[in-house]
């Protein structure tokens, strides 16, 4: 029995890495805040976002398993403009995203381990250096092992916290009030709710450009275990990670609704790190001091996995992009260590300049860029996975393509609504 479990876990990897990258600010901060500010009214929005974005993320491992190449190679084959569009989006947002996820992680470390004598920037640097050591010494295999078990433990910790939250408020008047907040239609009558939807949809469960990351990790997994990256196994691995990510999103939303709705705290004015500390603090107040470590571990595992996977992904994206530009293939990763260090340097420069810059504005910029480019990247993924590079038997079926077109209309419609609001304001 144990041998079967061990073998099964060895076949997993890229899908759980994708989950590690996706389950970050979008879940811990945005999903929880959605529940805290709007109760369960955001429930269907989160479910729809996960459902209608699914095909565009699934196309990443599908393309890699079928062709042995990353989506960046597919973009390059479509046309240089597609490749450079993706590269430009990455370069515009990589320091912002890496900096934000790292400083949220640092805030949690400081809070949980009582390290108030250290600055958030110093702890961020230590976290990034620790991640760099794992990546440069262990490369993909170390990342695969570390994140795999971190995500499994995160799932159990989060689900346990949600169950405790439900038990704590079940059959009380407070639960009845929260239950009455399930009114999705009211969201579209509330300008603040619509504005909140933009970053939530932009990064729920993640930005579409992260589909490239899973295609990269699938090709890396193939180097150490080719059997794990057959089309069937690659899609099973991805689906486990994706469904788990969706469940965790609903879990964090439920925690926000159950523990934080109508508490009178102004969550919108908080930094991401302070918000996370507030989530943990409210659990300790409502359930007991012991819960600090359960919820704290779930939050820290969420952000630590995101920080490390982002660092690896940006290093690989830049290295493979350089390889495509210079040699017209994505196999040369000799520049990977340089790009990991480059990402750390850029993120830390941004964090130290934070006293002069508004990090919340930078995050808004990054999420908005992800949101507005989502329809374009989604369409590119549809084109690539149906191109001549992919064998007919490996291409998505009619049902998947129908869902893709619905998803594309969904993303395009929300982008149009957002742009219309900018014009009318």
Supply the CATH number for residue 103's domain. 1.20.1740.10
**Dist CA 59 CA 396 (whole Å):** 8
Residue whose C-alpha is closest to residue 90's, from 240, 388, 310, 412: 310
129: Cα separation from own chain's centroid:
21
Would you state the structure tokens that stand for residue 67, as one six-digit string? 């062709």
In this predicted structure, what is the pLDDT of residue 184? Answer: 65
Q: Give the residue, 385 or 290, on which the prediction is more confident.
A: 385
b/e burial code for range 410-424 (CB count within 10 A of at least 16 → b): bbeebbeebeeeeee
**pLDDT category of residue 65 using cuts at 50, 70 and 90:** very high
Half-sphere exposure (CA, 13 Å, Cβ side) for 116?
A: 2
Based on the structure, what is the number of domains in the chain?
Answer: 1
Mean pLDDT of the chain: 83
Burial, 74: exposed, middle or buried (Cβ in 10 Å; 0-12, 13-18, 19+)? buried
CA 337 – CA 328 distance, rounded (Å): 21
Give the per-residue pLDDT at 4.
64
Residues 237, 13 contacting (CB under 8 angstroms): yes
Structure tokens that stand for 57 in this block: 């993320």
Q: For 54-69, what is the mean pLDDT?
A: 96
Band of residue 8 on the pLDDT scale cut at 50, 70, 90 = low
Structural contact between residues 64 and 203, judged by C-beta atoms closer than 8 angstroms: no
pTM of the complete model: 0.88
Question: Is the per-residue pLDDT at 172 higher than 60?
Answer: no
DSSP 8-state class, residue 182: -
Cβ–Cβ under 8 Å, residues 206 and 26: yes
pLDDT at 274 over 60: yes
Kindly report, residue by residue over 116-140, the tens digit of the pLDDT.
Answer: 888 889 999 999 999 999 999 877 8
pLDDT at 261: 75
First to last CA, the chain: 61
Min mean pLDDT across 84-88, 144-148, 279-283, 382-386 is at 279-283
More confident position, 283 or 315? 315
pLDDT value at position 341?
Answer: 97
* Residue 268 clears pLDDT 70, i.e. is over it: no
Tell me what the mean pLDDT of segment 247-266 comes to.
Answer: 78
The domain of 72 spans 2-424
Neighbouring C-beta atoms of residue 134, cutoff 10 Å: 17
Could you tell me which of 385, 223, 217, 229 has the C-alpha nearest to residue 316?
A: 217
Q: Classify residue 207 as left (phi > 0), alpha (psi -120 to 50) or beta.
A: beta
Residue that wins the pLDDT comparison between 88 and 332: 88
The better pLDDT of the pair 33, 395 is held by 395
Say if residues 273 and 103 touch (Cβ distance below 8 Å). Answer: yes
Token readout for 122 is: 């110093």
Q: Where are the alpha helices (DSSP H) in 264-290?
A: 272-286
pLDDT band at residue 98 using 50, 70 and 90 as cut-offs: very high
pLDDT, mean of residues 142-166: 76
User: Can you read off the two tokens belonging to residue 144?
Assistant: 């695969």
* Residue 310 and residue 143 in contact, taking contact as beta carbons nearer than 8 Å: no
Judged by average pLDDT, the poorest of 74-88, 248-262, 268-282 is: 268-282
Picking from 37-41, 156-160, 360-364, 371-375, which range would have the lowest pLDDT averaged per residue?
A: 360-364
Q: For residues 209 and 373, what is the distance between their CA atoms, to the nearest angstrom?
A: 9
| Residue 382 binned pLDDT confidence (cut-offs 50, 70, 90) | very high
- How many beta carbons lie within 10 A of that of residue 297, not counting itself? 19
Alpha-carbon gap, residue 353 to 348, rounded angstroms: 8
Whether 75 shows a pLDDT value over 80: the answer reads yes
Q: How far apart are CA 384 and CA 71, in angstroms?
A: 8
- The answer to whether 74 touches 226, Cβ cutoff 8 Å, is no
Q: How far apart, in whole angstroms, are the C-alpha atoms of residue 233 and residue 12?
A: 8
Question: If phi over 0 gives left and psi between -120 and 50 gives alpha, with beta otherwise, what is residue 110?
Answer: alpha
Asked if pLDDT for residue 386 goes beyond 60, the answer is: yes
Q: 331 with 340: CB under 8 angstroms?
A: no
Higher pLDDT, 240 or 361: 240
Is residue 128 within 8 A of residue 276, CB to CB? The reply is: no
Q: Which carries the bigger pLDDT value, residue 185 or residue 365?
A: 365
Encode pLDDT of 308-366 as tens digits. 999 999 999 999 999 999 998 888 888 999 999 999 999 999 988 876 666 567 666 77
């Amino acid at each position: 029995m144990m041998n079967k479990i061990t073998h099964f876990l060895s076949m997993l990897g890229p899908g759980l890495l994708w989950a590690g990258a996706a389950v970050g600010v979008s879940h811990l901060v945005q999903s929880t805040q959605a529940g805290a500010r709007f109760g369960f009214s955001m429930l269907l929005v989160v479910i729809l976002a996960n459902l209608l974005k699914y095909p565009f993320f699934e196309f990443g491992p599908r393309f890699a398993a079928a062709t042995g190449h990353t989506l960046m190679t597919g973009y390059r084959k479509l046309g240089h403009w597609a490749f450079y569009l993706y590269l430009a989006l990455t370069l515009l947002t990589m320091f912002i995203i890496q900096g934000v996820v790292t400083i949220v992680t640092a805030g949690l470390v400081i809070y949980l381990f009582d390290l108030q004598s250290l600055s958030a920037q110093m702890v961020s640097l230590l976290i990034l250096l620790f991640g760099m050591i794992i990546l440069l010494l262990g490369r993909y295999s170390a990342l695969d092992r570390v994140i795999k078990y971190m995500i499994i433990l995160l799932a159990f910790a989060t689900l346990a916290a949600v169950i405790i939250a439900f038990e704590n408020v079940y059959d009380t008047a407070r639960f009845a009030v929260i239950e009455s907040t399930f009114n999705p239609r009211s969201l579209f009558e509330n300008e603040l709710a619509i504005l909140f939807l933009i970053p939530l949809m932009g990064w729920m469960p993640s930005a579409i450009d992260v589909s490239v990351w899973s295609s990269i990790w699938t090709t890396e997994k193939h180097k150490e275990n080719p059997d794990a990256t057959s089309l069937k196994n690659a899609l099973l691995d991805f689906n486990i990670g994706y469904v788990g990510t969706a469940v965790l999103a609903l879990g964090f939303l439920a925690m926000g609704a159950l523990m934080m709705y109508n508490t009178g705290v102004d969550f919108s004015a908080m930094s991401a790190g302070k918000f996370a500390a507030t989530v943990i603090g409210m659990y300790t107040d409502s359930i007991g001091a012991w819960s600090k470590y359960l919820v704290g571990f779930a939050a820290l595992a969420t952000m630590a996995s995101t920080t490390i996977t982002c660092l690896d992904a940006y290093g690989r994206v830049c290295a493979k992009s350089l390889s495509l530009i210079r040699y017209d293939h994505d196999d040369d990763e000799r520049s990977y260590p340089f790009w990991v260090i480059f990402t750390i340097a850029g993120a830390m420069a941004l964090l130290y300049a934070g006293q002069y810059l508004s990090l919340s504005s930078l995050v808004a910029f990054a999420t908005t860029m992800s949101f507005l480019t989502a329809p374009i990247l989604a369409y590119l993924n549809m084109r690539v996975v149906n191109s001549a590079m992919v064998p007919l038997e490996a291409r998505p079926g009619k049902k998947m393509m129908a869902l893709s077109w619905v998803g594309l209309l969904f993303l395009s419609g929300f982008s149009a609504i957002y742009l219309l609001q900018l014009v009318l304001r």
